[in-house]
């Protein structure tokens, strides 16, 4: 079902020259999930989690994220295969009807003729001697230049590289290799009695977590939360959200920790309002007017 869709993603990755190990380091997605995507085995997690992984995969290889998700849905419904077969047939037809380029005939070299009746003037013996002396003089100069050149190279064959002090090297490379420290949003969260502030933190050091949030049942947002990162979201009345890999997430409502049931690798759905946190047993849905 997903063979052609998987081929498209894998070909885009190979065209960029990115290996699965490099892709895993770049997207923070476990390599076993990347191998499953490459092989078209997209039933390894719930659909919401698969779509989040596909967006990260597409972004890493330079594909349009939303278009990749639509292609996934088309492949799941069997529409992508039909479109590819039609396209392949049209491309073959165009190649067959494409006219052959004409091969230009070989060009005949232009012959030149000289008048044998024209007599050349005799060469003066003195001129010959002058030419020979000039050639010998030039050869001597060239030989002397070559000898001097190799003599200089021999003297300077040892190249001395000035070694910089460790402190200077460390200072020059500090900005290049400095790892961004996770920000603690607790002290930065404003206190506003008219709004709710929810802090979602990935407390793990290796695994990422996908999060989908619905604000006040009107606006939806989904994002991938990398290890040791925190995102603060604001709503007027309530949040409804889905946590992928919920075991690595901690929550704070208005700077107060929330206790909730979670497990690593599992998907959980919750609702938060001023009364507290409530678990949902089906994915939250955006309210339509």
Hey, what's the torsion of the CAs at 193, 195, 199, 200, to 10 degrees? 150
Residue 90 has what pLDDT? Answer: 43
Q: Which residue has the tokens 């392949």?
A: 88
Q: How far is CA 63 from the centre of its chain?
A: 9
Residue 142 has what pLDDT? Answer: 92
Cα(209)–Cα(97) distance, integer angstroms: 52
Q: Cβ distance 250 to 226 under 8 Å?
A: no
In tens digits, the chain (289 residues) has pLDDT values of 688 888 888 899 899 899 989 988 888 888 888 888 888 887 767 788 888 888 988 898 999 999 988 988 888 887 755 444 444 444 444 444 444 444 455 555 545 444 444 455 565 677 777 888 889 888 889 988 888 887 776 555 444 445 455 455 445 544 443 434 444 444 444 445 678 999 999 999 988 998 999 999 889 999 999 999 999 999 999 999 999 888 999 999 989 999 988 889 889 999 999 888 999 999 998 876 4
Residue 219 has what pLDDT? Answer: 92
Within 13 Å, how many C-alpha atoms sit on residue 36's CB side?
Answer: 13
104, containing H or E segment: none
Q: How far is CA 195 from the centre of its chain?
A: 37
Q: How many other C-beta atoms lie within 10 A of the C-beta of residue 282? A: 6
Predicted model pTM: 0.43
Q: Cβ distance 212 to 200 under 8 Å?
A: no
Residue 88 has what pLDDT? Answer: 44
Q: What b-and-e string marks burial along 257-277, b requiring 16 or more CB atoms within 10 Å of the CB? A: eeebebeeeebbbbbbeeeeb
Strand partners, 110: none
Q: Which of 240, 237, 272 is nearest to 253 (CA)?
A: 272
Q: Which of 271, 183, 269 is nearest to 228 (CA)?
A: 183
């Amino acid at each position: 079902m997903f063979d052609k869709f998987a081929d498209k993603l894998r070909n885009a990755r190979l065209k960029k020259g990115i290996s699965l190990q490099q892709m895993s380091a770049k997207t923070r997605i476990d390599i076993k999930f990347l191998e499953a995507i490459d092989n078209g085995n997209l039933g390894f997690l719930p659909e919401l989690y698969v779509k989040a992984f596909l967006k990260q995969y597409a972004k890493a290889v330079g594909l349009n994220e939303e278009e990749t998700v639509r292609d996934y849905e088309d492949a799941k419904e069997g529409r992508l295969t039909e479109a590819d077969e039609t396209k392949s047939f049209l491309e073959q037809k165009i190649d067959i009807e494409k006219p052959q380029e004409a091969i230009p005939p070989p060009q005949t070299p232009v012959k030149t003729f000289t008048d044998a009746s024209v007599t050349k003037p005799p060469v003066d013996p003195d001129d010959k001697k002058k030419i020979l002396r000039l050639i010998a003089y030039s050869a001597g100069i060239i030989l002397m230049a070559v000898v001097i050149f190799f003599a200089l190279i021999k003297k300077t064959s040892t190249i001395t590289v000035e070694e910089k002090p460790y402190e200077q090297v460390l200072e020059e490379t500090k900005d290049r290799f400095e790892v961004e420290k996770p920000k603690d949003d607790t002290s930065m969260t404003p206190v506003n009695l008219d709004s709710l502030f929810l802090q979602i933190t990935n407390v793990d050091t290796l695994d990422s977590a996908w999060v989908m949030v619905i604000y006040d049942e009107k606006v939806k947002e989904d994002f991938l939360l990398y290890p040791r990162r925190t995102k603060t979201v604001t709503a007027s009345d309530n949040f409804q959200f889905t946590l992928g890999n919920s075991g690595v997430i901690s929550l704070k409502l208005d700077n107060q920790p929330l206790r909730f049931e979670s497990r690593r690798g599992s998907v959980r759905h919750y609702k938060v309002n001023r009364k507290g946190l409530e678990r949902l047993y089906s994915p939250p849905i955006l309210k339509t007017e």
